Amino acid sequence: MDYKHSTIEQLNEAICTGKVKSEELFNEAMHLIEQYQEDYNAFVTIISKYKKYGQKDTLISGIPYALKDNISTSGILTTASSNILKDYIPVYDATIYKKLKQAGAVLVGKTTLDELAMGGTGTTAHTGIVRNPYDKQRLIGGSSAGSAAAVSLGIVPFAIGSDTGDSIRKPASFGGIVGFKPTYGRISRYGLFAFASSLDHIGCFTRNVRDAAIVTDILKGNDPNDMTTLPDEEVCYLDHLNDDIKGRKLFYIKEICEEKIYQDSDENVKKTIETFHQTVEKLKEAGFEVDEVSINKELLNAIYPTYMIISCAEATSNNANLTGIQFGPRQDGQDINEIMFRARTIGFSELIKRRFVLGSYILQKENQEKLFKNACRVRRMIVDKMNDLFKEYDGLILPASGTIAPEFTHTSKSEKLDPKATVLENHMAIANFGGFPSITLPMYYYKGLPVGINLTGRPREDKDVLNMAQKIEDVLQIKNKVAGDYDV
């Protein structure tokens, strides 16, 4: 069977009718890992021995998948792609890993990320850079780089990622696949290494919207071990994928999509904006109402700095236990400060250190009011604005990125905070600010390389976001693609 292009339901049917055995699918995944690991580096750890798990009667039973390496797996190395955790073997399972085991899915490996899930390039892991399956000279984006690459290469039909600013939805765009982050609290984060707790989400990569609904139906649910999880809801997302979308109202932000702003931009950005507007027309024909809405430019420009201030502050506090004492290899030293200083100096890359310096500065007593608390207020203004618009509209659509995946540059590793960071490249953090469900799916190919479209909906309305995304996928007709389907 054509494993690489098969949907979860096709694989499930093949297993149930005896056409293929789960172990054969696993072997196929292993074969692809062997073929691709050296070039693309999607995995930190490969689980090379087949193991049977849990139930037989779920849609993902017997199907191979991958987990981002910041998700706790008892007895299996979990490094968060950081030197400081390079030998860390957890003693407990994340709730989602437990759920996936119970559902019978078969883990093939733990995927590479930007160190501690910070960053968006897939270039800062302690085990090296992750390359874009469509073009090895380009990045796949991060932080969930390996999970995106594994799905885009066809190694697994689904993989799990985490998303604090756009870490599922941006690499999904660069990898030509679907990336879905449901409402904050829909999926338990027990066992996810915290980056910025008020923004962190777990979600999935798949090659079509239907598969994202299938996987999310399994992952979602209240968890007594994570007090931020939402109560259970008695609804199956898969059952509602083809609900009628007639009358659903979408909006896009004028200031981000105005063609005239991009007149002097490179050809790729112009083409993305043009394609986006053509897509809007097609969506109208398909029954959506779509309006252009204007939002104060200052508020939009505040997205990136607000994200950086809040996420660096929370990250500094969350990772304060990586000292070489509680976690990480112990270093010699005269006193506790020297031990911690040495462990952290050796343990972290430049990007992490920069963010911890920023975070410490932001959290200093004298700076808290001006920096941290003000950023929280701006976050509230952005979320209020969105909630206001969500009174009238069911969703926000925008390009997931302005361009195809960038080429590697010598600066991408160090990530100097970019003063030119455009709203077009950073708007997806809005969904983290408000905990809104948000999904990226492929929109078009520019010179054979994918660019995605992003849809963000009302909190708790994951079912509706998936339903609308299904319709968008039906309109755009791009699904189940793996790199190599298009010649670059």
Interface positions with ligand GLN (CB under 6 A):
117-120, 143, 163-167, 195, 311
CA atoms 264, 265, 268, 271: torsion sign: negative
68 is catalytic: yes
Catalytic annotation on 167?
yes
CB of 231 to ligand GLN, least distance (A): 26
Rounded Cα distance, 23 and 27, in Å: 6
The vertex-66 CA angle with 154 and 487, nearest 5°, equals 20
| CA atoms of 204 and 303, how far apart (whole Å) | 24
In angstroms, give the least distance from the CB of 429 to ligand GLN: 7
- Closest approach, Cβ 141 to ligand GLN, in A, equals 8
- Select which of 22, 147, 152, 167 is catalytic: 167
- Cβ closer to ligand GLN: 163 or 461? 163
CA distance 132 to 137: 7
Residue 266 CB partners (closer than 8 Å, separation 6+): 403
Cα 220 from Cα 99, distance rounded (Å): 9
| 143 flagged as catalytic | yes
Min dist CB 181 to ligand GLN, Å, is 9
Nearest to 29 by CA among 4, 8, 51, 54: 4
End-to-end CA distance of the chain: 26
Nearer of residues 152 and 311 to ligand GLN, judged by Cβ? 311
* CB of 144 or CB of 480, closer to ligand GLN: 144
Q: Which residues pair with 81 in a beta bridge?
A: none
Nearer to ligand GLN, 42 or 60 (CB): 42
Residues 6+ apart with CB under 8 A from 297: 255
Given the residues 61, 143, 152, 349, select the one marked as catalytic: 143
* Smallest gap from residue 370 Cβ to ligand GLN (A): 22
**Given the complex with ligand GLN, which of 26 and 348 has the nearer CB atom?**
348
CA separation for the pair 398, 428 (Å, rounded)? 9
Nearer to ligand GLN, 6 or 426 (CB): 426
Task: Report the distance separating Cα 172 and Cα 264, nearest Å.
Answer: 27
Least distance to ligand GLN, CB of residue 63, Å? 26
Active-site positions read 68, 143, 167
